[in-house]
Amino acid sequence: MKNIVVYGSGGFAREVVHLIEAINEVNNEWNVLGYLDDNESNHGMKINELTVLGGANWLEKGEVVYVAAGIGSPKAKKSIVQKLKKYSNVRYPNLVHPNVKISRFNQLGEGNIICEGSILTTNIILDNFVIVNLNCTIGHDVHIKNFSTILPNSSISGNVLIEECVDFGTNATIIQGISIGAGTIIGAGAVVVRDLPANCTAVGAPAKPIKFHE
């Protein structure tokens, strides 16, 4: 078995542990050591029978360990991964729930997490550290770039491009052939029918930018 820690100790981190346990029921692959958290007040805390082992400096011991980024926020996730670059002993597995439907013609980078009930058809590219949460559907030839998060029950049609650090809201939908700029936030239940620029928050049906941010 391979040792793994989950970075973060909030709700999604606990869901990642649940996903890992589901993988182990099919193929006993992972030994979950615990959580890592930058909040020192959480160090030593027990969460669902696992301990918060410490922060990033816990990785300094030098042993090879796999890390799953249990953080939903794209920007926070990116910040954590950039901080961990200095640790050459860290590996980032792709974690895919056993009941996910996914084509062998899809391409996954590293550190991606694909949760229960999702369907990814064919010729899809997930770069690195992408989260596909519960019960999402992703159509052919979609490309989702680094650190983006697709929240539960989202529907992404074919030939969509989602740039880096996009936060795609719960139950949102996007029609085929659309592009979403980097850093954009799509509100829950939004229907995206035209290209959206970078660094905006878009809501509604059809989805329209309501504000811009850095």
For residue 128, what pLDDT is reported?
98
For residue 172, what pLDDT is reported?
98
Dist. CA 207–CA 181, nearest whole Å: 14
Q: Is 161 exposed, middle or buried (0-12, 13-18, 19+ CB in 10 A)?
A: middle
Q: Which CATH architecture has domain 2-91?
A: 3-Layer(aba) Sandwich (3.40)
Dist. CA 162–CA 166, nearest whole Å: 7
Residues 6 or more apart whose CB falls under 8 angstroms from that of 76 comprise: none
Residues 6 or more apart whose CB falls under 8 angstroms from that of 83 comprise: 56
Mean pLDDT of all residues in the chain? 97
Mean pLDDT for 27-43 is 96
| Phi, psi torsion values for 132, nearest 5 degrees | -115, 105
pLDDT of residue 62 exceeding 90: no
For residue 54, what pLDDT is reported?
96
Mean pLDDT for 177-183 is 98
Angle at 117 between CA 113 and CA 120, to 5 degrees: 65
* pLDDT tier, 171 (very low <50, low <70, confident <90, very high otherwise): very high
Q: What is the pLDDT of residues 95-138, one digit of tens each?
A: 999 999 999 999 999 999 999 999 999 999 999 999 999 999 99
Q: Where in the chain is the domain with CATH 2.160.10.10?
A: 95-203
Overall CATH class of domain 95-203 = mainly beta
Q: Where in the chain is the domain with CATH 3.40.50.20?
A: 2-91
User: With contact defined as beta carbons under 8 Å apart, do 146 and 128 qualify?
Assistant: yes
For residue 34, what pLDDT is reported?
98
Q: What is the pLDDT of residues 73-101, one digit of tens each?
A: 999 999 999 999 999 999 999 999 999 99
